[in-house]
A and B are shown apart, each in its own frame.
Chain A
Amino acid sequence: MGQSGFVRKTMVPAAAPPMLEGTVIGWLRANLFNSWLNSALSVVFVTAVAYLLWQFIPWAFKSSWTANSLVECRQQIKAGFGEDVSGACWAVIRERYLQLIYGFYPADLYWRPNLTFVLMLIALAPVLFPTVSRKLLLFSCMYPFLGYWLLWGGSIWGVALVVAELALAFYLLSPLTARFGLLITIVGVVLATVLWWLFAVAPLQSLFHGILPLGLRAVPSNQFGGFTLSTIIGVTGIVASLPLGILWALGRRSDMLIVRSISVGFIELIRGVPLITLLFVASTLLNIFLPPGTSFDIILRVVIVVTLFSSGYVAEVIRGGLAALPVGQYEASDALGLDYWKSMRLVVLPQALKISIPGIVSSFIGLFKDTTLVSIIGLLDPLGLSNAIRADSAWNGIVWELYVFIAVMFFAFCFAMSRYSMHLERRLETGH
């Protein structure tokens, strides 16, 4: 029997792609019109988007940039584009964009928020991107004090004294721990810090300032507003709530009854109360409880409340990450003989935080947008300012232009955050 078979010795030449592949029609068919239902939906949505743009684009472009009041805007638009046209009055943005960004910050000092913002990006760089030199981390640690001093001004000695005390505490931390044990050291350091801030900083500051007056012009809190205020509250809240949230999450999973109960109680309290209520507590109720004449800065109060609020949510997101980690990881780190903090720091948290990134970032984005709620307690964030600007009779009646501007600014911030989180997820992707 002769073997019959066929082995092909040459390659089959590549056939031409299907006629529609790679063409616009092919793409449309594959993506928008691949079934009756999808076709119908595509038509509906394309029509809706086209209609919106049809309305929005003429409104946005048949506009006035140069007028000095709404009435003048309307006259200019009528003169330029015809009687029946109603266009956008962007002139209000031209006149007030600096106010929307800086609030009432003195105009000749705009360089201070600007510099603070640039320095913030530099301080965040080593945290956000691994390629940046680690040495910058020292600057990142110093930044909160530097930023505070730049924004609020005043004597440099106050900030310097606080930093000096914290540096000393940090330096003494390990020798003291070796001598007295961790708990006593921490309690002692915290107590010393609080006492130092309450009683020593002010007199020493005036003493040093008398000897060598170094400082910037002080800017009181009621001059803060606009996006500067949103950014201060948002960024401080975000940066401070992450470590706090990690501690709450670890506390909630702790074996120690008291730590666990406090953590659970705090988290549930925060999550059970609306942010608006907490802001009212900060602005109104504290006024009643504190002795009269106590000036407890309103922005500081809001930052504290926002940070605590956000840390409750971040804690739950991180707890989700901790729970998602296989038990084997915990057991493995125990088996290596690591103590609690080392096993958390080296084994558990890096993995748990990686899982939690999307959740953490979305709660940060939510926090940033929630800063607009401060307008209801009389702080003039961009939304509060839009109301104040409308109270100028020259601009009374302007609505959309201000909201569009504010929305675009917020979108830029939030979109950048969400892009960074996607970048971070890709970078840390290790697969399982």
Chain B
Amino acid sequence: MKIRALVASLLLLFWASLSLNAQTLDDTRASGVLKCGINTGLVGFAYPDEAGNWKGFDVDYCRAVAAAVLGDPDAVEYTPLTGKQRFTALAAGQVDVLSRNTTWTFSRDTDLKQTFAGINYYDGQGFMVHASSGVMSAYELSGAAVCIQTGTTTELNLADFFRANDMDYDPVPIETNAEAKQQFFAEACDVYTSDRSGLAATRASHEDPDSLMVLPEIISKEPLGPLVRHGDDQWADIARWVLNALITAEEKGLTMDNVMSMGDSNDPEVRRLLGTEGELASFIGLDSSWAANAIAAVGNYGEIFERHIGVNTAIGLERGHNALWTDGGLIYSPPFR
């Protein structure tokens, strides 16, 4: 483990010494496309539609950045990446933004030399059981057979949780989410544990969703967000403030439909955000309509959420922690001033 980390950091150092940083914005403008890394397929977050266009919660962030930087939300080159590839792809410049439901952790931020642009989804590991089992709480799971994806942090969290509460369990190792679903639906295990967004999606795909229940306990913090590589602060600022613009837009009631007519709003922060007052845009090297373009392309944070994973979609996630701070959630943007 130590040696692997050492080799990895040496290689990254080697790469860093060669790198031509601090010009991602210029490069992106020159090529005319934003290189964005996404998931190879995660319900609600990234998937190809019938015509082969990528869609989803994470994909819309790429579109927002492309709209802000290039003025065109379709000017994105998507690279589907697996969990193993994502960080090297970003470090090597194969992608310039990684929007792939990545958990913000200390080591990823520091050791792997990434810069997280913020948090766009607060996830956490939960448990799902068959409603017929009568289990109402994760603390009643002692002795249960648990379906668990091997080689993930969820596996470690699970072990920690059961050990801390002096319970034992019988792990049923599986490789993919699709396999886990088959095993769990066939009752080969009593419990399926994964991120709660994933559990909700799995539950929604069952013929009778009411026969499954997601338990209330959340046993880990999984703050997901987009990230860029270390070394180009201007680019990191753009990534961060595009996300903040989408959040502020929801707070200020700017939507996909009305944003273009809100430039003369009485609210000075809205005017600054939309570029009709002040010159915030010039500080990060973008056109004054950058935020308006992003919001017009994909809508505000709430609209993106409701469109792909909200209660009215097949996945049906409540806002919960992901509500605005004004509604009792954790989604919060620093002010535009």
User: A: which residues have CB within 8 A of B?
Assistant: 69-71, 74, 86, 95-96, 99, 103-104, 107, 220, 222-223, 280, 283-285, 287-293, 375-378, 380, 384-385, 387-394, 396-397, 399
B315 interface contact, C-beta 8 A: yes
- The binding surface of chain A is classed by DSSP as helix
B4 interface contact, C-beta 8 A: no
Shortest C-beta distance, B89 to chain A (Å), equals 7
Shortest C-beta distance, B123 to chain A (Å), equals 16
Partner of B89, one of A287, A289, A291: A287
Measured in the bound complex, the distance between the Cα atoms of B193 and A144 in whole Å is 49
- Across the interface, which residues of A come within 8 angstroms of B205, CB to CB? 70, 396-397
- Could you jot down 12 A-B contacts, CB within 8 Å? A285-B88, A288-B11, A288-B14, A288-B88, A289-B11, A291-B18, A292-B20, A376-B84, A378-B40, A388-B47, A390-B178, A399-B178
The reply to whether B94 and A104 form a contact with Cβ atoms under 8 Å apart is: no
Partner of B43, one of A107, A283, A384, A391: A391
Measured in the bound complex, the distance between the Cα atoms of B56 and A380 in whole Å is 17
The reply to whether B48 and A392 form a contact with Cβ atoms under 8 Å apart is: yes
- Across the interface, which residues of A come within 8 angstroms of B91, CB to CB? 287-288
Partner of A392, one of B40, B47, B84, B93: B47
The reply to whether B79 and A393 form a contact with Cβ atoms under 8 Å apart is: no
Q: Given A391-B43, A392-B47: A292 and B85 within 8 A (CB)?
A: no
Measured in the bound complex, the distance between the Cα atoms of B181 and A397 in whole Å is 8
The reply to whether A397 and B48 form a contact with Cβ atoms under 8 Å apart is: no
The reply to whether B52 and A95 form a contact with Cβ atoms under 8 Å apart is: no
The reply to whether B94 and A393 form a contact with Cβ atoms under 8 Å apart is: no
The reply to whether B77 and A222 form a contact with Cβ atoms under 8 Å apart is: yes
Measured in the bound complex, the distance between the Cα atoms of B48 and A223 in whole Å is 12
B215 interface contact, C-beta 8 A: no
- Across the interface, which residues of B come within 8 angstroms of A103, CB to CB? 52
Q: Given A284-B85, A288-B12: A387 and B178 within 8 A (CB)?
A: yes
- Across the interface, which residues of A come within 8 angstroms of B78, CB to CB? 222
Q: Which of B106-123 contact A (CB under 8 A)?
A: none
Measured in the bound complex, the distance between the Cα atoms of B95 and A283 in whole Å is 13
User: B: which residues have CB within 8 A of A?
Assistant: 11-12, 14-15, 18-20, 39-52, 56, 77-82, 84-85, 88-89, 91-94, 176, 178, 181-182, 201-202, 204-207, 313-315
The reply to whether A284 and B84 form a contact with Cβ atoms under 8 Å apart is: yes
Q: Given A393-B43, A393-B315: A107 and B51 within 8 A (CB)?
A: yes
Q: Given A388-B47, A396-B314, A397-B206: A287 and B81 within 8 A (CB)?
A: no
Measured in the bound complex, the distance between the Cα atoms of B47 and A380 in whole Å is 12
Measured in the bound complex, the distance between the Cα atoms of B80 and A376 in whole Å is 11
Give the residue name and chain of the B residue nearest to A74 (CB): B207
- Across the interface, which residues of B come within 8 angstroms of A99, CB to CB? 48, 50, 52
Shortest C-beta distance, A138 to chain B (Å), equals 37
Which of B52, B92, B201 has the most chain A CB within a 10 Å cutoff?
B52
The reply to whether B182 and A290 form a contact with Cβ atoms under 8 Å apart is: no
Shortest C-beta distance, A306 to chain B (Å), equals 18
Measured in the bound complex, the distance between the Cα atoms of B206 and A86 in whole Å is 12
The reply to whether B44 and A95 form a contact with Cβ atoms under 8 Å apart is: no
Which of A95, A290, A393 has the most chain B CB within a 10 Å cutoff?
A393
Measured in the bound complex, the distance between the Cα atoms of B50 and A385 in whole Å is 12
- Across the interface, which residues of A come within 8 angstroms of B84, CB to CB? 280, 284, 376
The reply to whether B50 and A96 form a contact with Cβ atoms under 8 Å apart is: yes
- Across the interface, which residues of B come within 8 angstroms of A284, CB to CB? 84-85, 88-89
Give the residue name and chain of the B residue nearest to A86 (CB): B207
Q: Given A70-B205, A74-B207: A392 and B49 within 8 A (CB)?
A: yes
Measured in the bound complex, the distance between the Cα atoms of B186 and A86 in whole Å is 14
Partner of A391, one of B20, B46, B93, B206: B46
Which 8 residue pairs are nearest across A and B when measured between Cβ atoms?
A397-B205, A388-B41, A391-B47, A391-B41, A287-B92, A393-B314, A104-B52, A396-B205
Measured in the bound complex, the distance between the Cα atoms of B47 and A385 in whole Å is 10
- Across the interface, which residues of B come within 8 angstroms of A293, CB to CB? 20, 93
Give the residue name and chain of the B residue nearest to A102 (CB): B52
The reply to whether A389 and B41 form a contact with Cβ atoms under 8 Å apart is: yes
The reply to whether A393 and B204 form a contact with Cβ atoms under 8 Å apart is: yes
The reply to whether A287 and B47 form a contact with Cβ atoms under 8 Å apart is: no
The reply to whether A388 and B207 form a contact with Cβ atoms under 8 Å apart is: no
The reply to whether B43 and A71 form a contact with Cβ atoms under 8 Å apart is: no
Give the residue name and chain of the A residue nearest to B45 (CB): A391
The reply to whether B50 and A393 form a contact with Cβ atoms under 8 Å apart is: no
Give the residue name and chain of the B residue nearest to A375 (CB): B40
Measured in the bound complex, the distance between the Cα atoms of B15 and A293 in whole Å is 11
- Across the interface, which residues of A come within 8 angstroms of B204, CB to CB? 393, 396
Shortest C-beta distance, B269 to chain A (Å), equals 35
Q: Given A74-B207, A393-B313, A394-B314: A288 and B44 within 8 A (CB)?
A: no
- Across the interface, which residues of A come within 8 angstroms of B44, CB to CB? 391, 393
- Across the interface, which residues of A come within 8 angstroms of B42, CB to CB? 391
- Across the interface, which residues of B come within 8 angstroms of A285, CB to CB? 88
Q: Given A99-B48, A399-B178: A378 and B81 within 8 A (CB)?
A: yes
- Across the interface, which residues of A come within 8 angstroms of B94, CB to CB? 287
Measured in the bound complex, the distance between the Cα atoms of B88 and A402 in whole Å is 31
Give the residue name and chain of the B residue nearest to A403 (CB): B178
Measured in the bound complex, the distance between the Cα atoms of B12 and A283 in whole Å is 16
